Structure 1
Amino acid sequence: MLAQQSKPWLLVALLGAVFLGNIDVAVVNIALPAIHASLHASDAELELIVSGYTLAYGVSLITCARLGYLRGYLRMFILGLGVFTLTSLACGLAPNALVLVMMRIIQGIGTAMMVPQVLTGIQINFEGAARVRAIGLFTIVLSGSAILGQILGGVLVSANLFGATWRPIFLINVPIGVILMILAATFLPVDQRQQGQRLDLGGVATLSAALLLLVVPLIFGQDAGWSVWIWICFLASLPAFAIFVGWERKLARRGGSPVLNLRLLTRLPIVYGLACLALSNVTYFAMLFVLALYLQQGLGETPTYAGLILVPWVAAFGIAGPLVGRLPATGRRLAPLLGTLLLAASYASLGVTLLAGVTTGPLFMSLLGIGGFSLGLQFTALVTLLTSSVKSRDAADMSGLLNTIPRIAGVLGVAVFGSLYLSLVPGKGQGIAIHAFTIVLFAFAATAFLAAVAAYLSLHYAKSAASDDAVVLRQERLSEVEG
């Protein structure tokens, strides 16, 4: 077991990587106008600078989590951090938009190599209350990096250091990445490779193809006008996932090492827990997107105001994380259900305030804070329960699922609810925007309520499974006594 005095530095290394990967999305969004002016990037290139990173990251997560299990999570973590750091340097020095797009795609792969190892490292090196606290800090870093990304992106671009305009948003990653690599090499315990096991290349190929067929249309569907090729990709993703599942089952029967342990998805508490996580993230990422459109295009607010109004949400999300660790065992077990119910209530309350004529302001921001707090409560408790429900040998699989599913759900949420909002605002005007956002908020509430149902089912089946395990244990003990 890792020495107690080394664990704080271990967490700094692990959570520092999460910070870098998460902040990189926010700062780039803020810097897009400056990148456009500097590199004369087209609209398509600007979109790929953002979505290329997201796509590469989302598609690679499960594969990189498995590589961490096979090759050692420490090795993969440092390698991913190295790739991220070097591509940050390349992005900062990019001479044109094409090079920047290519480096962003590779940077997304580097992020996928390091981020799944974070939850794996927490699960392996922390137990009980210490694990709950570590995941609480993980939640704080997620929220804090989102806030700082909005602020730091604007500050660095506006400062125009050495006439470099947007380039420092990438170059600042380089010294931080080097420091984190030194910390990781010093304080993360060396783990052993899995001897005799090779990466499931067939599984990697079929899973990557299936995810690409699903995610690419979601990212580009709106701009493509939901043309025929978008729907063909959607339909093709279904047999692609079926082929992946068939391949993995066949490999498992032969005694191989699948890229994803599908047995986890036969356990109902895990399936419903992941469904709860997905449904809540559908609303969260869509909320960020639609709220920005509503405030800027609908109400005519400035981008700065649109960014600052989200501070209560993101800050409350981070505050909720550490509070989960202070709850009694029963409270932690019920937190995913209570959090999603509160999330549904916050969305519904926001819709009611719009109907009452309160379109923004302190009350609106307070309700956003309640929404962020409820999502943070649900997220932290759910991740803690799911990671605690599997053994160390399945930590990489669970980490891959916990990182991949929210990302894909977020892309799906933006596609579905973003399209819904835009379809309801055929023209400009505050009244139209308020009406459209009200409908979307009530749709968010309904989706969050479905997440609460999934949380309840996860809780119900987990309780049933625990009762069955207790019965089996008593029978085994009785057999030993009689023997």
Structure 2
Amino acid sequence: MKSGYDSTTLGRSGLLVLLAGQLLPMIDFSIVNVALDAMSASLHASPIQLELMVALYGIAFAISLAMGGRLGDNLGRRRVFIWGVTLFGLSSLLCGLAPNVTTLLLARALQGVGAALVVPQILATLHVTLHGREHSRALGLYGGIGGLAFIIGQVLGGTLIELNPGGFGWRSVFLINIPFCVAILLLATRTLPETRNDRRVALDRAGTFWLAAATGSLLISLSLGPLLHWSWPCLALLALFPLLLGRLWQVELRLERRGGSPLLPPALLRLPGVRFGLTIGVLFFACWSGFMFVVALTLQSGLGMTPFQSGNAFIALGSAYFIGAMLSTRMVARWGKVATLLAGYAIQMSGLLALMLTLERGWPQIGILALAPATALIGFGQSFIVSCFYRIGLADVPKTHAGAGSAVLSTVQQTAMGLGPMLLGAVFSHVLQPHDDYRQAILITLGVEWGLMLVLVVFALQKRGIRIMQPE
């Protein structure tokens, strides 16, 4: 009897190729941030165009993730992974050679689509080819690389702008992707097993449209709203989001009742692990991206650090994050998923308090070394949270729905990361505006984040008795 999917063993080399494929699109979320000033000077870009350079990538990524997962399930995950890396490399080349802002914006959107073809195949392949401790270890690596990539992007972007290799200026932050894409493509065909569902399912065109509309309305309004002072078009788009989300749910529910194959199966959202994971994802990743945004702004505008120095200030956080991710497999095996998650919350929240104390006592003479202990504590705790997010979210997902399950988690993660800068950024700006006091603004914003993390602690304590708490 067929199990519904083709599964072969994923070797160590194949795992490294998948993780390298994950690293590239994740780095591009943050590497561009430190190059915006140089882009503005070179291409004479307006503030709205600069915002779109960041936003279009994330919007195209989030909108296309679910379809990327479905294509992998139908056509083969290795095949779609290769397509995605190819598109990502070509669009990176187009970004690096862009003669004007319009070309660069188009190329950034294509980069997002390429990333959306790559990322769901990684998590789905891990889910269907690995089992037991190997599966848990791979998820720990996946979570570690995903979080580390954001930090690498900040540091690498600042380094490239500072050193200006080859005289390419800001273009180097895109051109550096190309040799890595070529290497991944050469290795992927040799090391990755091909997995797919035995039965192809029809593309859910209606679900794709309504998902794109809902996600796009939210992310576009959040990206451009602060810049356009929340003019009525931005508010209208934001108000449309819950209506479009409701319509998406109706369409998917109707298709499921008819025996079809929804792009985002409502049955998945009824699974306790998926619901728990999505709750973690919405609040935590919003806090994470908001934290990175307001801290980077404080370091550069409040403490006068250069982009290079600001990027280096996150090295301790990223290093501790990666170490914690490597330890998370052992912790989950010993304590269980929810207990490890609670430990991550406690460590991260302690780090937030330590960072607030450091800023309170040392302002304005605060260097990178002074920030390192608190940020390392934050990164170490975050690694446990992220690894448990994937483990909990996939715990109940059938392997035949691996693509859809990974796409659901990734879509929520990316949407939440777009939400974070708006939420914590709004708190930061509200406190900052009256007196231009960066110290007070960052302290209150970090306090708000601590309170949101406390909400997640309460939620996790209520779920301690469910099945997903058990050790792997």
Q: CA deviation at 1:330?
A: 4.2
The list of structure 1 runs, each at least 4 consecutive aligned residues, that deviate by more than 6 angstroms after superposition, is: 1-4
Residue number among 199, 223, 243 corresponding to 2:227 in the alignment: 223
Residue number among 269, 276, 279 corresponding to 2:273 in the alignment: 269
Q: Could you say which residue in structure 2 is the equivalent of 1:373?
A: 380
CA contact (8 A) 1:343 1:371 kept: yes
> Partners of 1:242 and 1:149 in 2: how far apart?
35
> Partners of 1:172 and 1:227 in 2: how far apart?
38
Cα distance change, pair 228–461 in 1 and its aligned pair in 2 (3 A): farther
Secondary structure, counterpart of 2:432 in structure 1: coil
CA contact (8 A) 2:322 2:383 kept: yes
Counterparts of residues 65-144 of structure 1 (less than 5 Å): 65-144=69-148
CA RMSD after TM alignment: 2.2
> Partners of 1:151 and 1:301 in 2: how far apart?
13
1:445 equivalenced with 2:445 (yes/no): no
TM-score (norm 2): 0.91
Residue number among 185, 190, 194 corresponding to 2:189 in the alignment: 185
Uncovered stretches (5+) of structure 2, i.e. residues with no partner: 1-5
Q: CA deviation at 1:424?
A: 1.0
Uncovered stretches (5+) of structure 1, i.e. residues with no partner: 467-483
Cα distance change, pair 154–363 in 1 and its aligned pair in 2 (3 A): closer
> Partners of 2:324 and 2:51 in 1: how far apart?
33
Q: How much identity, in percent, do the aligned residues show?
A: 31
Q: Could you say which residue in structure 2 is the equivalent of 1:152?
A: 156
CA contact (8 A) 1:270 1:458 kept: no
Q: CA deviation at 1:284?
A: 1.0
Secondary structure, counterpart of 1:198 in structure 2: coil
1:412 equivalenced with 2:419 (yes/no): yes
Q: Could you say which residue in structure 2 is the equivalent of 1:311?
A: 315
Amino acid at match of 2:95: C
Secondary structure, counterpart of 1:300 in structure 2: coil
Q: CA deviation at 1:363?
A: 5.2
Cα distance change, pair 140–196 in 1 and its aligned pair in 2 (3 A): closer
CA contact (8 A) 2:73 2:196 kept: no
Q: Could you say which residue in structure 1 is the equivalent of 2:176?
A: 172
Secondary structure, counterpart of 2:243 in structure 1: helix
1:295 equivalenced with 2:302 (yes/no): no
- Structure 1 window deviating more from structure 2 (402-411 vs 442-451): it is 402-411
CA contact (8 A) 2:324 2:383 kept: yes
1:19-62 CA distance string (max 9 Å, x none): 11112223222222222222222222222222111111112112
CA contact (8 A) 2:342 2:457 kept: yes
> Partners of 1:395 and 1:192 in 2: how far apart?
10
Residue number among 333, 340, 345 corresponding to 1:335 in the alignment: 340
Cα distance change, pair 356–69 in 1 and its aligned pair in 2 (3 A): same
> Partners of 1:130 and 1:203 in 2: how far apart?
34
Amino acid at match of 1:105: A
Amino acid at match of 1:348: L
Secondary structure, counterpart of 2:465 in structure 1: helix
Pairs aligned (count): 462
> Partners of 1:143 and 1:304 in 2: how far apart?
20
> Partners of 1:307 and 1:175 in 2: how far apart?
23
Secondary structure, counterpart of 1:459 in structure 2: coil
Residue number among 350, 355, 361 corresponding to 2:355 in the alignment: 350
* Larger CA Rg, structure 1 vs 2: 1
Q: CA deviation at 1:95?
A: 1.5
Amino acid at match of 2:465: H
Cα distance change, pair 358–460 in 1 and its aligned pair in 2 (3 A): farther
1:284-331 CA distance string (max 9 Å, x none): 111111112222222333333322222222221111111012236341
Q: Could you say which residue in structure 2 is the equivalent of 1:197?
A: 201
CA contact (8 A) 1:341 1:449 kept: no
> Partners of 2:332 and 2:141 in 1: how far apart?
18
> Partners of 1:348 and 1:184 in 2: how far apart?
44
